[in-house]
Amino acid sequence: MGIKLIELKDGYARFRMAVCPEYLQGAKTMQGGLIVALADEAIAHAMMTRLNPEEGLTTIELKSNFLAGVSDGELVATATVFKKGQSLMIGDCLVTDHQEKNICRVSATFLLLKKNQSN
């Protein structure tokens, strides 16, 4: 998909992705699932900056609000960690186009996984 990391710091991740002709659906706008995949990736990376060494994570719930279509240029996904609890993490992402127009807002809940520790 050509997702590229722009910036990664504590509780924050920013990725970009080109809008390619092969990503357009029948109405000639980018397929929504690809936009959501970009946001999910950004949120996961923001969350990984807050994990303890023995923790992993997986998406268990994701909600997207499509705000506008996009047919060309580049998308930027900016994600932040909203809250980390004992077993869940919540994150948010705003996907904008190359003119900083809001394209999609995504909220996601991730399950914290405890990695097996061998003795």
User: Residue 80: how many CB atoms within 10 A of its CB?
Assistant: 16
Pairwise pLDDT comparison (94 vs 118), residue with the higher score: 94
The model carries a pTM of 0.93
Total domains in the chain come to 1
Contacts of 93 (CB under 8 A, 6+ apart): 39, 40, 42, 43, 77, 78, 79, 80, 105, 106, 107, 108
> The CATH number of the domain where 11 resides is what?
3.10.129.10
Asked whether residue 72 is domain-assigned, the answer is yes
Asked whether residue 119 is domain-assigned, the answer is no
Question: Which domain range does residue 23 map to?
Answer: 4-114
Mode of pairing for the β-strands spanning 102-114 and 12-18: unpaired
Asked whether residue 91 is domain-assigned, the answer is yes
- Write the pLDDT tens digit of every residue in 2-12: 899 999 999 99
Asked whether residue 39 is domain-assigned, the answer is yes
Asked whether residue 36 is domain-assigned, the answer is yes
